[in-house]
Amino acid sequence: DTGVSQDPRHKITKRGQNVTFRCDPISEHNRLYWYRQTLGQGPEFLTYFQNEAQLEKSRLLSDRFSAERPKGSFSTLEIQRTEQGDSAMYLCASSLFYGQSSYEQYFGPGTRLTVT
Amino acid sequence: QQQVKQSPQSLIVQKGGISIINCAYENTAFDYFPWYQQFPGKGPALLIAIRPDVSEKKEGRFTISFNKSAKQFSLHIMDSQPGDSATYFCAASIGNNRLAFGKGNQVVVIP
């Protein structure tokens, strides 16, 4: 399968714990995006990378959230001191940026986080 | 502030009918408008996308109509099938960077 993969698919954690999610993009894609989706809503943009550089972060992304893409391939999203409001589906997407053009974003299956 | 607004919230269509979902946007700098389909527990899947230099784009049973002056675009699903029952999201972006999504429309196709 050459699509975007995310791990784990589900995570249940207690309030105050730290969690880390991983995203592996489509292999030739140099852009990687993180979104968050709560029940009944559309995905909300969190941050994105081009290769290893983090180019944009949403104001939604509090200081407890950090994302990395150290070698320009996979990415991790860490949430520290989780809160119940962090419960959501965390989606990763990837795309190709070439020349001056950015192409379609393809999403992974998501990681569903439940904070108890 | 919701940058992209969808209507109706939900839609029930008979098999073989046409599903029409509308989307309105505010930011005139948006230049890329995709539609995504999402099944429960899955990530969104890209269906079809349009840029504002064309007024219509068709791919199989799916058509996007785009009205730049009204800042609206819509998705038409022809010959709707029960397998099309899903949530549909419109989105918009500048240069296909970060996407601003609508809240989604749930479409139910009854046999």
pLDDT in tens, B52-98: 899 999 999 999 999 999 999 999 999 999 999 999 999 999 877 89
Chain B nearest-CA distance from A102, in A, is 6
CB pairs under 8 A between A and B: 59
DSSP state of A85: G
- Which of the residues A90, A105, A107, A113 would you substitute to probe the B interface, choosing the one with the greatest number of B C-beta atoms within 10 Å? A105
Residue of B nearest to A109 (CA): B43
Per the omega criterion (within 30 degrees of 0), is the bond before B8 cis? yes
Query: Quick one: what percent of chain A has pLDDT higher than 70?
Result: 99
Separation between Cα atoms, residue B21 and residue A114, nearest integer Å: 31
**Interior CA angle at A79 toward A73 and A85, to 5°?**
130
Whether residue B103 and residue A40 make contact (CB cut-off 8 A), yes or no, is: yes
Closest CA to B107 of B35, B25, B56, B50: B35
Separation between Cα atoms, residue B97 and residue B111, nearest integer Å: 39
- DSSP percent split of chain B into helix, strand, coil, nearest 5: 5, 55, 40
Give B1's pLDDT tier (boundaries 50, 70, 90): low
Residue of B nearest to A38 (CA): B103
Chain A nearest-CA distance from B106, in A, is 10
Asked if the model's pLDDT at residue A88 lies above 60, the reply is: yes
Measured distance between the N- and C-terminal CA atoms of chain A, rounded to whole angstroms: 33
Residue B19 DSSP SS3: strand
